[in-house]
Amino acid sequence: MTPFSEEKILELDRRHVWHPYASMVDPPPVLPVAAAGGVRLRLADGRDLIDGMSSWWAAIHGYNHPVLNAAIMEQTAAMAHVMFGGLTHRPAVALAGLLAEITPAGLETVFFCDSGSVSVEVAIKMALQYWIALGKAQKNRLLTIRGGYHGDTFGAMAVCDPVTGMHGMFRSHLTPHFFADRPACRFEGLWAESDLESFRQLIAGNYDEIAAVILEPILQGAGGMWAYHPDYLRGVRRLCDQYGVLLILDEIATGFGRTGRLFAAEHADIRPDILCLGKALTGGYMSLAATLSTRRVSETISTAGPGVFMHGPTFMANPLACAVALASVELLLASDWQGRIRHIEAQLTRELAACRDLPQVADVRTLGAVGVVELHRPVNMRQITRRFVERGVWLRPFGRLVYIMPPYIISPEDLTRLTTAMVQTIAEEEVAAA
């Protein structure tokens, strides 16, 4: 690889690279990363930052983990890629078997995808093709809840929040779906049956058009970082059964322990008909996702119409990605991940409590290895990110939310550095706004 100075990297980046949610006319500042290890990002200028984001919630084991490095190197020596049409291989088969074993009961078939957004597209397509196979093609719309986020592709955008979401400009191009009010009962609060009323009315009045319900179980991610009561999810499952509607759970952000359970659906002790996984699946090493379904869904699709599921990504079940995913999941299961998450949750709850007294702060909430400080008004992204970097941490807020999702391996000392930076920087936001 041609060596580049830090200045050359930044020059070429500004000229050619279009970053996510960024302008090419007035691009935001970026930081060149030279290496990463454990919970630290090593910048090109030699500074280290403690990562509080797990690289968008994926690097649960931290960076440069020897077990995951070995898995991907061993697979590289055997085969980096092979098409999955008409062929199979051990990493994919072993990973599928493990996922079927550890996910909620009844999810027996696994369709591998390229990314979380694609896994949502696949789930939606499965639901639509399921009802087409049963001769009920009119069941072609989805029901979801406000405040949700499911990805940036068109099918996924259509079930993101239509008002507060990021994709309002595309509304005229998106399939119209049904949106129930966001559940108001907090995860740790008292349950009120009235919280389900908006959802109940929509499913009761439109079940003949609804193919599936899709939502993020317990914790809504990029749509607002809101954790709602498990009884809401139980009620959704009950109503889906009552009205003959499939239930899709999007566990792309919540899967693999983030909320304190291996999968967030376990908080409510329910199972979906279709499940979307991604992000932490490979421990942040490669892009890979999976859409799991019950045998009822997969066999119904497979015994009517064309007799096949109409989807097939080129890099589906890439052997490198499957091998490192298998190693990542096994590494998680062999560790005391539950104990780590409990300690992280307790520390986040204790140390972020100081934000409650700041006038700029509207709410503070924690669940598992997730800590959220919600402000009354949006942050200045460029300023707040710069102040975090000056304090030696990497956090990337959005909108009114300053949040943390650290790698599970983080030490109490490093976690304190992150929470201290959050409290101090948010306090400065308050002073600046006064």
Written as six digits, the tokens of 188 are: 């740790």
Q: Which amino acid is residue 409, in one-letter code?
A: I
Q: Up-side HSE of residue 413: CA atoms within 13 Å toward CB?
A: 0
Q: Which of 21, 26, 45, 357 is catalytic?
A: 21
Half-sphere exposure of 240 (CA within 13 A, CB side): 24
Pick the catalytic residue from 149, 232, 285, 408.
149
C-alpha closest to that of 278 among 333, 216, 211, 336: 216
What is the phi/psi pair of residue 346, to 5°?
-65, -40
Spatial distance between the Cα atoms of 378 and 224, rounded to a whole number of angstroms: 12
Helices 66-78 & 319-334 angle (0-180, nearest 10): 150
The span from the CA of 187 to the CA of 333, in Å, is: 25
Backbone angles phi, psi at 105, to 5 degrees: -55, 140
Rounded alpha-carbon distances, angstroms, from residue 248 to 141, 211, 314? 13, 10, 24
Nearest to 347 by CA among 419, 244, 253, 399: 419
Which entry of 114, 195, 250, 414 is annotated as an active-site residue?
Answer: 250
Cβ contacts of 330 within 8 Å, gap of 6 or more: 98
- Tokens in use for 33? 């990363």
Q: At what angle do helices 90-102 and 319-334 cross, to 10 degrees?
A: 40
Residue from 232, 279, 285, 403 carrying the catalytic annotation = 279
Q: Helix 381-390 crosses helix 412-433 at what angle (to 10 degrees)?
A: 140
Rounded Cα distance, 327 and 60, in Å: 13
- The token pair that represents 3 in the structure block: 């060596």
Q: Is 181 a catalytic residue?
A: no
Q: Distance between CA atoms of 114 and 313, rounded to whole angstroms? A: 7
Is 279 a residue of the active site?
yes
Active site annotation includes 149: yes
Q: Dmax over Cα atoms in the chain, in whole Å?
A: 65
The 3-state secondary structure of 391-402 reads: CCEECCCECCEE
CA–CA distance from 367 to each of 348, 394, 398 (Å)?
9, 20, 19
Residues annotated as catalytic are: 21, 149, 250, 279
